Amino acid sequence: MNYNELKTLVQEARTTRRFQKDSSVSFEDLREILDLARITSSAKNVQPIKYILVTKEEDVLKLSTTAAWAAHLKEWDQSEDERPSAFILMLNDRMIDGFPMFDAGASFTAISLAAKAKGLSTCPMASINKELCKELFVIPDSFDVMIGIAVGVGAEKVELVDAKNGDTNYYRLEDQTHCVPKRTLDQIIIGEY
């Protein structure tokens, strides 16, 4: 893979909040995606991040309907026909003394890129109902649910745009294109020595 191919993959691996109805994601695909996540960098290489895979339709529905989708889009809520096909729950094992926020970022990057390479889309959600997760799944007391990652076949057009006046809030155009403002390279590099 060359740089331009990687850049395209990163650009296309956007967060998606609308998924195709009646599509499915297999445990095999999720396991292959996590096989890449498990070999990403880990602070001190202690690997505190663990996962729960959810494809059971009623559990996916419960997680979808109790999560807060797209906080910046006040006039929109995910419809029943736009639900994801699966979730990956990312957990921190507190019994392992690491830097879970670093590991979670590295892991999610691998997950989103691997999913896109398989024709899938993802949406990381800190708003996942963590108490519901504890009710639905066997989660040891020493584990914290960090985020839920919705997974499915994407059903929305996402466009990267330059942030204007520092505003990075995403928005939708009249044709429902989901616009994601990004700061320019010059805005994020604060020094070159």
* pLDDT tens readout for residues 63-122: 999 988 887 788 888 888 999 999 999 999 999 999 999 999 999 999 999 999 999 999
Give the model's pLDDT for residue 19: 96
Give me the mean pLDDT over the 31-58 stretch: 97
What is the per-residue pLDDT across 46-63, written as a single tens digit (0 to 9) for each? 999 999 999 999 999 999
Domain boundaries of the chain, sorted by first residue: 3-155, 157-193
For 157-193, give the CATH class.
mainly beta
* DSSP state for residue 80 in the 8-state scheme: G
Nearest-angstrom CA–CA distance, 176 and 179: 9
> DSSP secondary structure string, 70-111?
-TT-TT----GGG--SEEEEEEEETTS-S-HHHHHHHHHHHH
Is the C-alpha dihedral spanning 9, 54, 66, 106 positive or negative?
A: negative
Name the CATH code of domain 3-155 (choices 3.40.50.300, 3.40.109.10, 1.20.1560.10, 3.40.50.10490). 3.40.109.10
Nearest-angstrom CA–CA distance, 193 and 191: 6
pTM: 0.94
